[in-house]
Amino acid sequence: MTNALLHPFAPPNKPESDYLNIVRGEGSLVFDSSGKSYIDGIANLWLCQVGHGRTEIIDAVATQMRQIEAYHTFAPFSNGPAAQVAEMIVERSPLVDGRVFLGCSGSDAVDTALKIARLFQQRRGHDGRQIIVKRTNGYHGTNFGGTSAQGITLNREGWGDLIPHFIEVPHDDLEVAATIFAEHGERIAAVLTEPIQGGGGVHPPVDGYLEGLHRLCEDNGALLIFDEVICGFGRTGNWFGAQTFGVTPDLIIFAKGVTSGYQPLSGVIVSRDVCNELEEPDFLLRTGYTYSGHHASCAAGIANIELMETEGLVDRVDNIGSQLRSGLAALKGDGLIESWRGLGAIYAAELGNDAVSARDKMLSAGVILRPIGTCLAICPPLVITDDEISRLIDTMADALR
Ligand SMILES: Cc1ncc(COP(=O)(O)O)c(C=O)c1O
């Protein structure tokens, strides 16, 4: 094998031969090229809700592709799967009378949401509202919009000038956000936040934080954008984190879990108020992607949502969560981890020291978790069995011992 492949979030001098080659998946398990199996404790990369190898989705995509693989949805074209998946998504969201703009990746959906927020303000006559307030630890993908919105400093560095008018606030301090609004309220277009910060280390919001942001936005004419690329599609125990935390934003960014990764699909759910601004006669929305509304991706989304519903996977989160929490509490009780945080089916075990070697030991023992600084992130498929969760926790205990 040559080194032709340049990997994302990886040291480019690492040779291809050093990588683990994943060739197959089934349920919560994946298999490498030597046939060794792993419990996929991070659901691919925070996304494979229905587990691997689900023929229901594979068949739906193949059937769609035999009809037509893709055709764009720029005016005057549309297609059934795109319209249907949009309807299924809004119906399950807190923005039931909103509409869905489709894309392919979380990063492009973040850019779309940022553009729509500024567009909305301009169309309301607030040309000066350009500031986006974002939080430390926030991860919003790696396009220029999301890179500018990163609350993980290292991810922002080395790319030259980023997009202006982003202001970062500490992720857990509402007072600072209030001060920023007091200073710049007239110029703030939107606040961008994940309900639970995922890639930055699994940080649930402190009590009252999301409600507080919502209030600040409402009082100051700014939009609230939830980046639910990880939280969406069941991860927190409801279809969306917005429902778990009881806070309704103006825009919801989704990706990942919408198809469980069987095809790339993302999007932005746009509230009715924001839609009203865009639906004025003679206005043309000049943004979008060749693959916005891609037939096969949308077919995967429909089949995935149907499967999640049939198998009651959103409701399974309670059980997964309580088993993981008691496992993590036992590890803490035994002094093997410093602490844990998280809710629903997303957690971080805080080790107090670099987590890469613990990850590597667990990998050897057949469990995949994701190291983030000093913690190990856990975010399993929503089909994970009780036995697999026990094995995951036991393997963690062995690795940490
Ligand atoms: C909250 C959040 N937003 C955006 C993204 C970017 O998504 P993608 O990698 O599909 O571009 C991610 C990816 O992990 C994410 O966690």
Q: What is the pLDDT of residue 81?
A: 98
Q: How far, in Å, is the centroid of ligand 1 from the Cα of 303?
A: 22
Q: What is the pLDDT of residue 1?
A: 82
Q: How many CB atoms lie within 10 A of CB 317?
A: 22
Residue whose CA is at the smallest distance from ligand 1 atom 5: 141
Q: How far, in Å, is the centroid of ligand 1 from the Cα of 352?
A: 26
Q: How far, in Å, is the centroid of ligand 1 from the Cα of 335?
A: 33
The Cα–Cα gap between 348 and 203 comes to: 8
Q: Give the domain 16-53+312-400 fold.
A: Aspartate Aminotransferase, domain 1 (3.90.1150)
Which of 229, 251, 346 has the most ligand 1 atoms within 8 A of CB, as the residue to mutate?
A: 229
Pocket flag, ligand 1, residue 145 (CB < 6 Å): no
Q: What is the pLDDT of residue 173?
A: 97
Residue whose CA is at the smallest distance from ligand 1 atom 13: 141
The Cα–Cα gap between 37 and 48 comes to: 17
What are the start and end residues of each CATH 3.90.1150.10 domain in the chain? Answer: 16-53+312-400
Pocket flag, ligand 1, residue 106 (CB < 6 Å): yes
Q: Is the dihedral of CA 191, 197, 201, 206 positive or negative?
A: positive
Pocket flag, ligand 1, residue 370 (CB < 6 Å): no
The residue type of 94 is: P
| Stated pTM of the model | 0.98
Pocket flag, ligand 1, residue 230 (CB < 6 Å): yes
First to last CA, the chain: 36
Pocket flag, ligand 1, residue 138 (CB < 6 Å): no
CA distances from 125 to 111, 121, 180 (A): 21, 6, 22
CA distances from 80 to 58, 70, 148, 266, 307 (A): 18, 12, 35, 17, 19
What stretch of H or E contains 376? strand 375-378
Indicate which atom in ligand 1 lies nearest the CA of residue 194. Answer: 1
Pocket flag, ligand 1, residue 227 (CB < 6 Å): yes
Q: How far, in Å, is the centroid of ligand 1 from the Cα of 200?
A: 11
Q: How far, in Å, is the centroid of ligand 1 from the Cα of 229?
A: 6
What stretch of H or E contains 82? helix 80-92
Q: What residues contact residue 249 under an 8 Å CB cut-off, 6+ apart?
A: 214, 223, 224, 225, 226, 242, 271
Pocket flag, ligand 1, residue 197 (CB < 6 Å): no
Task: Read off φ and ψ for residue 118, nearest 5 degrees.
Answer: -70, -40
- Low-confidence residues in the chain, pLDDT < 70: none
Task: Read off φ and ψ for residue 145, nearest 5 degrees.
Answer: -65, -50
Pocket flag, ligand 1, residue 198 (CB < 6 Å): yes
Indicate which atom in ligand 1 lies nearest the CA of residue 108. Answer: 11
Q: What residues contact residue 114 under an 8 Å CB cut-off, 6+ apart?
A: 132, 145, 149, 190, 192, 225
Q: What is the pLDDT of residue 35?
A: 98
For the chain, what is the largest distance between any 2 Cα atoms, rounded to a whole number of angstroms? 66
Q: How far, in Å, is the centroid of ligand 1 from the Cα of 139?
A: 7
Pocket flag, ligand 1, residue 89 (CB < 6 Å): no
Task: Read off φ and ψ for residue 376, nearest 5 degrees.
Answer: -110, 125
Q: Which residues in 127-136 are b (16+ Cβ under 10 Å) and which e?
A: eebbbbbbbb
Pocket flag, ligand 1, residue 254 (CB < 6 Å): no
Q: What residues contact residue 223 under an 8 Å CB cut-off, 6+ apart?
A: 117, 120, 121, 189, 190, 191, 217, 249, 250, 251, 274
The Cα–Cα gap between 106 and 84 comes to: 20
Pocket flag, ligand 1, residue 235 (CB < 6 Å): no
Q: For residue 19, what are the β-bridge partners? A: none
Which of 104, 226, 256, 266 has the most ligand 1 atoms within 8 A of CB, as the residue to mutate?
A: 256
Which of 9, 104, 139, 142 has the most ligand 1 atoms within 8 A of CB, as the residue to mutate?
A: 139
DSSP conformational letter for 98 = -
Q: What residues contact residue 94 under an 8 Å CB cut-off, 6+ apart?
A: 240, 242, 243, 248, 252
Q: Give the domain 57-310 fold.
A: Aspartate Aminotransferase; domain 2 (3.40.640)
Q: How far, in Å, is the centroid of ligand 1 from the Cα of 339?
A: 26
The residue type of 322 is: S
What are the start and end residues of each CATH 3.40.640.10 domain in the chain? Answer: 57-310
For the record, the structure tokens of 20 come out as 């683990």
CA distances from 380 to 148, 257, 327, 362 (A): 29, 12, 14, 15
Pocket flag, ligand 1, residue 289 (CB < 6 Å): no
Task: Read off φ and ψ for residue 348, nearest 5 degrees.
Answer: -130, 135
